[in-house]
Chains A and B, each alone.
Chain A
Amino acid sequence: MKNVTAALSASGAYLAGEYDIIVIGTGHAGCEAALASARLGRQTLILGMNLDTVANMPCNPNIGGTAKGQLVREIDALGGEMGRAADRAMIQFRMLNASRGPAVLSPRAQIDRRLYQQIMKETLEKTDRLDVRQGEVIELLVDADGHELRIEGVRLRTEAIYRCKSVILATGTFLESRIIIGDCQYSGGPDSQFAAHGLSESLRDLGLLLQRFKTGTPARINRRSVDFTPMEQQDGDPIPFAFSYENEENPPINPDEQIPCYLTWTTSQTRAVIEQNLDRSPLLSGVIEGVGPRYCPSIEDKYVKFPDKERHQIFLEPMGRNTEEMYLQGLSSSMPEDVQLIMVRSLPGLQSARIMRSAYAIEYDCLDPRLLQMSLEVRGITGLFSAGQINGTSGYEEAAGQGLIAGINAVRKLNDKEPVILDRSQAYIGVLIDDLITKGTTEPYRMMTARAEYRLVLRQDNADARLTPIGRSVGLIDQARWDHFQIKQERIQTEIERCRNIRIRPSAESDAVMRSLGTVPLRQPASLADLLKRPEIHYEDLEVLDPDRPSLSRVEQTAVEVSIKYEGYIRLEEERIGQFRKLERKSIPDSIDYRLIKGLRIEAQQKLSRQRPISIGQAKRISGVSPADLAVLLIYLQSLKRDDEEGKRG
């Protein structure tokens, strides 16, 4: 462990610059963190090992999907970049779960991955106060004089020393990473980049606990070697939506210019290939020690764990407009290359497929996220923040969401302001960070809508209503966007009111409309709102009966319809949120000494002391803290309060 002065005394070392905030890593977390930091007025440096891979998508060429689409909308509502960039780079759009209800409606886009990188790199380059620099950080420099460690700077492999007040770690899957393709294993990062060596050791040296995770990606093949006839073509939606609230008036892509995906299935032959070669699978033979994600298993894992399932879906996804490369979603594997080729060719339509890049598994170091505070600052090291896959997550969107919050909070810390902490009833980002910090994770953490308890409220359509006021107060939402937001909200509210007040009388016309929609005719006058509560009726269906309606945009119409149709259910969920918030608001003073609380079990005492939850609500979610422990804690807090009040009176 050394400080800047000590680092500068090494031979060849030189002071390369001085910044408020340095972001390590140019992936999705790093980009959001750096942009937020610079936009909020801080001199910022973003360091990446290879600037040709800024905002790379080394796995699936898409952004969004269930829960992830909600994350992108939230990032955008707070003033992040991912939604805007995805809108510009999309080559196909689909709204998933269209028939399953507004709470789980999830936008997803296929992305031209090179274009996305180019857009993000250019955005970084053109942002004031932000310097973009290629370089590999091998050591964090800290001041250890006080009782707490404090970040002072970073040291690069070239002995360049940068001084700074805060560091945001966004190193993704690069720390001491290892690539595994069957028996062939070597040090390396995603997409044949170099692994990052040295930083892991520096983190350990600072007393941080690292864990080893594993993930993987399927093979890419050349489109020209594919026979699409036995496959099912999957087109984009006829009406594409935008991720960014800035673009919601205009579709981000011409519907006719979308590029399709294709669906095919594994066969009994695929199964046979896998079964014959299981002994060569490093995952199953124990060569890979890292913990892999359950929700995104390799194909060999799927066959081993679900032997009853005859076949599995495989999607072919385009990697971009100007490339023939296609991604084989669902066929992730760490089998040797020769097995991979036979496996790929066992699928209908892929008999003569030519692999361009092999599937591989990757193992890497990451932090135990329970080391972090809710602000994403590492406990005990002032000025060290961390975001993205290094925190044990998986996925571009999860990374970007954390990057944005880390960027915001690093700046707020320097500005002496309270951190932005979103709770579980406010945002998926809140659920994500709370899960990581409170429960930790034993496998790469993927966001899922099922992880959110209050999904009816955390919708993709209302992310702006939930979060744009926060983005505005933080300083990432400009005036034009704010004005637009306020006008939109007002129009929605006015229209909801109007729908409650306008009554439709039973008539031959209304009977005809009701019948055509498959619902019963009116028996007595009903408000538009009453009608919208019928599952069969949508807002646009009522236009004939409501000719004087204001002209609303598509998204405004959706917002009106959802608010009215689901009013009763949303109210029920809000009651549950009220209960939840009561415990979230019961804050635990930072000065609390758990050793002094009588009746607390030792396990609970240790866990609470280590994780220092900010509220009873958070304490409740820590595993190993029982309801009885909470009762003890609540009683203790009450007695503290009572003593305090008595003290004041006395």
Chain B
Amino acid sequence: MNGDYQTVPDTNLTSQDHEICVAVATPPGQSGIAVIRLSGKGAAELVDPVFKPVSKRFPPVFSMPGYTCAVGKIISPVTGELIDQVVLTRFTAPHSYTGEEVIELSCHGSLAIKQSLIDLILSLGARAAEPGEFTKRAFLNGKLDLIQAEAVIDLIQAETDRSARNAAALLQGELSQQMMFISDSLYQLLASIELVLEYPEHDESDTVTAQLAAGLDLIEQKINRYVQGFSQGRILTEGMTVVLAGRPNAGKSSLLNALANTERAIVTDVPGTTRDTIEIKIDIDGIPVHLVDTAGVRETEDTVEKLGVARTRDVLQSADLVFWLIAPPVDHLQEDQTIMEQLQLQSLVPLVSKDDLNESLALRQAIEACWPDQTIMTCSVITGEGLDAIRKKVIETYESLGAQAQNDVLLTNSRHKACLDSALLSVRKAREALHDGITWDIIASLVRGSLDALAELTGDAVSDTLVDTIFSRFCVGK
């Protein structure tokens, strides 16, 4: 690097001495254009020697003001060949995503061009960024709070529309903001308690008691709504597990294929072909769904199949929704009924498959007799009938999970959930204690416990475990 160039003035927000790291910031694969991002002090000096602006009116890269672009060619210093024509955008610290000096190259999105550009920049002395490193730097430089940083990871990994929308809301700081409101209300309650405790001779406790009861109640409801939202939010990051189960040869694999429009599962008409579970990810109206095809459940002598059946039972227990496929003929219905009762699953929906077969009407009537309260669903992969109803059922199940929840932004992260659970427990105990006439020192202690938990959620309080958990997601290298 040329030492004569004037470097960007350092500011308090900038972390020092970070090496310059580089990575393709757009998704992998071929695309129209792609963005290559360099972050770290000296990034402008690093790329300047290989960037030839198309017009003389563009200053050297290191003299460009922040938030300005230049069009130019990237020339290999070794061969003198043109690698690509790019748009270069300069960001100065701390006004960038990472809070550091950042250069972004918008290049053409072919794999070969991206690779050549990255190789070139590495050869100039940058280091390949680790997964999540830009976000890690943004967090460390105070550009993102913890929830936002975690949301970035979620956003990158989001597979469906709904997941992405929620992660974006988290990134905007909506959850952090809501948690701050709750903390503020708790602090106000705590302050009024402390006033009474600190100045016992200036007794104003009567007004405070009423204020306290109402306040705790409201906060409890508020936190609870976010906690409830986790059952939906969890699905947005982890996916909803929808299991197709039933006795062997009930048509599970065919249905899986029909729903997925693929040939992922192997379909034959020999009972027991699917001996292990098969899982594919599909998107149903923006809901990420893990569709699981299972081994048929029945008593069996085949060892391999037996293992498959055992695994099926495990999968069923953890499923969000189970479709129990029942195919004609009607004679096996008794066995189906026994197995379903044994499983005792809440979210189990009987589904008559192969509805195109002759015996299905008799089967439907027999099932209605068995489960008079249930709406009987039917489907046929041959005619395509009933597939939309199945999709609709998935959406309904997802939405019913959110009935109690706050809908603006959903809790998606189990770490957040654990913190909020703990905050909720403390507030609930405080409310009960107040009701039971327990002394105020205890109530104050419980309110503090709740505030601790919220602070851990937003990252305002750093605990040991917190740092470990989070940074395992950010791949902090040595």
- Interface residue ranges, B against A (CB under 8 Å): 10, 12-18, 137, 139-142, 146, 194, 196-202, 426, 429, 433, 436-442, 444-446, 448-449, 452, 459-464, 467, 470-471, 476, 478
With A535-B437, A627-B146 in contact, do A599 and B18 touch (Cβ < 8 Å)?
Answer: yes
Q: Which residues does chain A contribute within 8 Å of B470, judged by CB atoms?
A: 631
B12 with A635: CB separation less than 8 A:
no
Complex Cα distance, B441 from A566, in Å, reads 10
Cβ 8 A contact of B198, one of A66, A313, A572, A602: A66
B141 with A448: CB separation less than 8 A:
no
A453 with B142: CB separation less than 8 A:
no
Q: Which residues does chain B contribute within 8 Å of A572, judged by CB atoms?
A: 426, 429, 445-446, 449
Identify the stretch in A100-108, A282-290, A422-430 within 8 Å (CB) of chain B at 4 or more residues.
Answer: A100-108
Q: How far is the CB of B209 from chain A (nearest CB, A)?
A: 12
Q: Which residue of B lies closest to A66 (CB)?
A: B198
Q: Which residues does chain B contribute within 8 Å of A2, judged by CB atoms?
A: none
Q: Which residues does chain A contribute within 8 Å of B142, judged by CB atoms?
A: 601, 626, 628
Q: How far is the CB of A599 from chain B (nearest CB, A)?
A: 4
Q: Which residues does chain B contribute within 8 Å of A97, judged by CB atoms?
A: 197, 200
Residue from B199, B201, B467, B471 whose CB has the most chain A CB atoms within 10 Å = B201
A192 within 8 A of B: no
Known: A97-B200, A627-B146, A631-B139. 14 other contacts (CB 8 A): A99-B439, A103-B439, A104-B441, A448-B198, A569-B433, A572-B445, A576-B452, A598-B15, A598-B18, A599-B140, A600-B15, A601-B13, A603-B12, A620-B461
Complex Cα distance, B439 from A102, in Å, reads 8
Complex Cα distance, B99 from A632, in Å, reads 15
Q: How far is the CB of B328 from chain A (nearest CB, A)?
A: 57
B16 with A103: CB separation less than 8 A:
no
Q: Which chain A residues (519-541) contact chain B, with CB distance < 8 Å?
A: 535-536
B459 with A627: CB separation less than 8 A:
yes
Q: Which residue of B lies closest to A635 (CB)?
A: B476
With A104-B441, A569-B446, A601-B13 in contact, do A586 and B198 touch (Cβ < 8 Å)?
Answer: no
Cβ 8 A contact of B441, one of A102, A453, A635: A102
With A66-B200, A600-B16 in contact, do A566 and B442 touch (Cβ < 8 Å)?
Answer: yes
Q: Which residue of A lies closest to B442 (CB)?
A: A569
Q: Which residue of B lies closest to A98 (CB)?
A: B200
Q: How far is the CB of A111 from chain B (nearest CB, A)?
A: 17
Cβ 8 A contact of B194, one of A106, A450, A600, A634: A450
Q: Which residue of B lies closest to A263 (CB)?
A: B201
A51 within 8 A of B: no
B436 with A535: CB separation less than 8 A:
yes
Q: Which chain A residues (584-629) contact chain B, with CB distance < 8 Å?
A: 586, 598-603, 605, 620, 626-628
Cβ 8 A contact of A104, one of B17, B440, B452, B462: B440
Complex Cα distance, B197 from A455, in Å, reads 12
Residue from B196, B444, B471 whose CB has the most chain A CB atoms within 10 Å = B444
B441 with A100: CB separation less than 8 A:
yes
What are 27 of the A-B contact pairs (CB < 8 Å)? A66-B198, A66-B199, A97-B197, A103-B439, A104-B440, A313-B201, A313-B202, A448-B198, A449-B194, A450-B197, A455-B441, A455-B444, A456-B445, A535-B437, A536-B437, A573-B445, A573-B449, A576-B452, A583-B464, A601-B142, A626-B142, A628-B139, A628-B141, A631-B139, A631-B467, A634-B467, A642-B478
Q: Which residues does chain B contribute within 8 Å of A315, judged by CB atoms?
A: 201
A504 within 8 A of B: no
A contacts with B, residue count (CB < 8 A): 48
Q: How far is the CB of B37 from chain A (nearest CB, A)?
A: 18
Contact string against B for A residues 624-650, beta-carbon threshold 8 Å, 1 for contact and 0 otherwise:
001110111011000100100000000
- Interface residue ranges, A against B (CB under 8 Å): 66-67, 96-97, 99-104, 106, 313, 315, 448-450, 453, 455-456, 535-536, 566, 569, 572-573, 576, 579, 582-583, 586, 598-603, 605, 620, 626-628, 630-632, 634-635, 639, 642
Q: Which residues does chain A contribute within 8 Å of B137, judged by CB atoms?
A: 599
Q: How far is the CB of A58 from chain B (nearest CB, A)?
A: 22
Q: Which residue of A lies closest to B139 (CB)?
A: A628
Q: Which residue of B lies closest to A582 (CB)?
A: B464
Q: Which residue of B lies closest to A261 (CB)?
A: B201
With A628-B141, A632-B140 in contact, do A66 and B197 touch (Cβ < 8 Å)?
Answer: yes
Q: Which residues does chain B contribute within 8 Å of A603, judged by CB atoms?
A: 12
Complex Cα distance, B471 from A631, in Å, reads 9
With A104-B197, A313-B202 in contact, do A602 and B16 touch (Cβ < 8 Å)?
Answer: yes
Q: Which residues does chain B contribute within 8 Å of A569, judged by CB atoms?
A: 433, 442, 445-446
- Number of CB contacts from chain A to chain B under 8 A: 134
A598 with B17: CB separation less than 8 A:
yes
Q: Which residue of A lies closest to B195 (CB)?
A: A450
Q: Which residues does chain B contribute within 8 Å of A582, judged by CB atoms?
A: 463-464
Q: Which residues does chain A contribute within 8 Å of B202, judged by CB atoms?
A: 313
Q: Which residues does chain A contribute within 8 Å of B18, judged by CB atoms?
A: 598-599
A599 with B15: CB separation less than 8 A:
yes
Q: How far is the CB of A329 from chain B (nearest CB, A)?
A: 9
Q: Which residue of B lies closest to A624 (CB)?
A: B12
Complex Cα distance, B137 from A104, in Å, reads 44
Cβ 8 A contact of B140, one of A535, A628, A639: A628
Complex Cα distance, B458 from A322, in Å, reads 59
Minimum-distance CB pairs A-B, first 10: A101-B439, A101-B441, A103-B441, A450-B194, A599-B15, A627-B462, A96-B200, A104-B197, A630-B462, A104-B441
Complex Cα distance, B442 from A99, in Å, reads 12
Cβ 8 A contact of B12, one of A103, A449, A602: A602
Q: How far is the CB of B467 from chain A (nearest CB, A)?
A: 5
Complex Cα distance, B139 from A391, in Å, reads 37
Q: Which residues does chain A contribute within 8 Å of B200, judged by CB atoms?
A: 66, 96-97, 100, 106
Q: Which residues does chain B contribute within 8 Å of A602, judged by CB atoms?
A: 10, 12, 14, 16
Q: Which residues does chain B contribute within 8 Å of A313, judged by CB atoms?
A: 201-202
With A599-B140, A627-B460, A631-B467 in contact, do A453 and B448 touch (Cβ < 8 Å)?
Answer: yes
Q: Which residues does chain A contribute within 8 Å of B460, judged by CB atoms?
A: 627
Complex Cα distance, B14 from A578, in Å, reads 34
Q: Which residues does chain B contribute within 8 Å of A599, judged by CB atoms?
A: 15-16, 18, 137, 140-141
B463 with A631: CB separation less than 8 A:
no
Q: Which residue of B lies closest to A106 (CB)?
A: B200
Q: How far is the CB of B412 from chain A (nearest CB, A)?
A: 21
Q: Which residue of A lies closest to B478 (CB)?
A: A639
Complex Cα distance, B467 from A630, in Å, reads 9
Q: How far is the CB of B440 from chain A (nearest CB, A)?
A: 5
Complex Cα distance, B301 from A299, in Å, reads 91
Q: How far is the CB of A574 from chain B (nearest CB, A)?
A: 11
Cβ 8 A contact of A456, one of B17, B437, B442, B471: B442
With A100-B439, A601-B15 in contact, do A449 and B198 touch (Cβ < 8 Å)?
Answer: yes
A635 with B445: CB separation less than 8 A:
no
With A96-B200, A569-B446 in contact, do A586 and B140 touch (Cβ < 8 Å)?
Answer: no
Q: How far is the CB of B436 from chain A (nearest CB, A)?
A: 6
Q: Which residues does chain A contribute within 8 Å of B448, judged by CB atoms?
A: 453, 576
Q: Which residues does chain B contribute within 8 Å of A536, judged by CB atoms?
A: 437
Residue from B426, B438, B445, B470 whose CB has the most chain A CB atoms within 10 Å = B445
A586 with B201: CB separation less than 8 A:
no
A579 with B446: CB separation less than 8 A:
no
A100 with B440: CB separation less than 8 A:
yes
Cβ 8 A contact of B462, one of A103, A600, A631: A631
A455 with B445: CB separation less than 8 A:
yes
Complex Cα distance, B477 from A642, in Å, reads 12
Q: Which residue of A lies closest to B439 (CB)?
A: A101
Q: Which residues does chain B contribute within 8 Å of A632, judged by CB atoms?
A: 15, 140
Complex Cα distance, B459 from A628, in Å, reads 9
Complex Cα distance, B460 from A630, in Å, reads 11
Q: How far is the CB of B17 from chain A (nearest CB, A)?
A: 5
Q: How far is the CB of B474 from chain A (nearest CB, A)?
A: 10
Residue from A101, A102, A315, A627 whose CB has the most chain B CB atoms within 10 Å = A627
Complex Cα distance, B258 from A55, in Å, reads 90
Q: How far is the CB of B427 from chain A (nearest CB, A)?
A: 13
Q: Which residues does chain A contribute within 8 Å of B429, judged by CB atoms?
A: 572
Q: Which residues does chain A contribute within 8 Å of B436, judged by CB atoms?
A: 535
